[in-house]
Structure 1
């Protein structure tokens, strides 16, 4: 019954109601800020040789199609788990909720997570983590998928802007330990938005 209600909800929104009023300047600001971070030796994840010649990351064209309002379903009584990373490190996360939405006529779902330790800090108490991969992963975008930073929504919807999706630091430097995208967050569509892969 729950699945049927979700599908009905998404079908109703597929006629335009699920599209957020797109803020192009917000996506431009994201690109400007991440480029500044990567160009600064104090904050950049780039290796020295790449930093020396760095000018800009490669982005998909900003596209309002990939900024949307998803139905947000909080999950209850979830048990914390150790998320796999690119190293032996296993940070503890909990599945906080599910985002349901439609892209290219397909009903899709992504799990959204909360980092237990990080959420104990006042600065990050509302921070949510959305890792995902899609059909561009390993081709135009990083093979390990991408991340989106979110804030805990107050209602039953959440804005997801794939234009602000970025690569894990592992895409630039092997010294970092990065969470791996859970298999359930592998989308069977192309998400042509956000940061593209850094190297072939």
Structure 2
């Protein structure tokens, strides 16, 4: 069957559009992965400096933290519910004495076809730029990742925002993972995910 000139033009146009979107996706993913690698290199440099959580004898021999390979599928927009009257929550700390946080809201999302949620916290007495704090555990803890859980920091959402970006590739260990002298938040029960999150920072090996 011979196709008309009009049909060929339509097919050519659709092909051009498909190539455009595919190349744009590849370019964006490449930029994203480059950003993740750059952030990790910067953190490695910081861990060799004087403000590192590592003990002083460990710093000269430190080379790099260990990470899962970045996976853009674990970066997504979650539904956001901001609590109108945030309650104060005493976050349990490894040192015993709790620290006060506000329960700012809840992020709801899907992974592997199942719904999950995380409570978003904001420190009551916070210095510097305000941000949201998300301590969590998942089924990699105690195996590929630190047994005490990991953290994510999120920028404050805009007014009336209905969603918030969560990127598990940026999940990091508490300082307690490197040095037992630190006092770290313990992820609350409501943020204990019953799924593996195989991205972000892995267990620290001395």
**Interval of TM-score (by shorter of Structure 1 and Structure 2):** 0.7 to 0.9
Larger-gyration structure (1/2): 2
User: What is the CA RMSD across the aligned residues, in angstroms?
Assistant: 1.5
Runs of 4+ in 1 over 2 A off after TM superposition: none
Hey, what does 2:110 align to over in structure 1?
102
In the alignment, the residues of structure 1 paired with residue 146 and residue 140 of structure 2 have an alpha-carbon distance, to the nearest angstrom, of: 8
The answer to whether residue 47 in structure 2 is matched with residue 65 in structure 1 is no
Whether 1:158 aligns to 2:167 is: no
Where do residues 25-174 of structure 1 align in structure 2 (5 Å cutoff)?
25-40=34-49, 42-118=50-126, 121=127, 123-125=128-130, 127-154=131-158, 155-174=161-180
Please give the alpha-carbon distance, in whole angstroms, between the structure 1 residues aligned to 2:183 and 2:176: 7
Given the two structures, how large is their TM-score scaled by the length of structure 2?
A: 0.81
Deviations 1:105-149 (A, max 9, x none): 11110001000100xx4x223x11011110000100000010011
Aligned to 1:194, the other structure's residue is in SS state: coil
| Aligned residue-pair number | 175
TM-score, normalization by structure 1:
0.83
Deviation string, structure 1 residues 65-94 (Cα, Å, up to 9, x no partner): 111110111012232121100003321101
Which residue number corresponds to residue 190 of structure 1?
196
| Unmatched runs of 5 consecutive residues or more in structure 1 | 1-20
- Structure 2 gap ranges (5+): 1-27
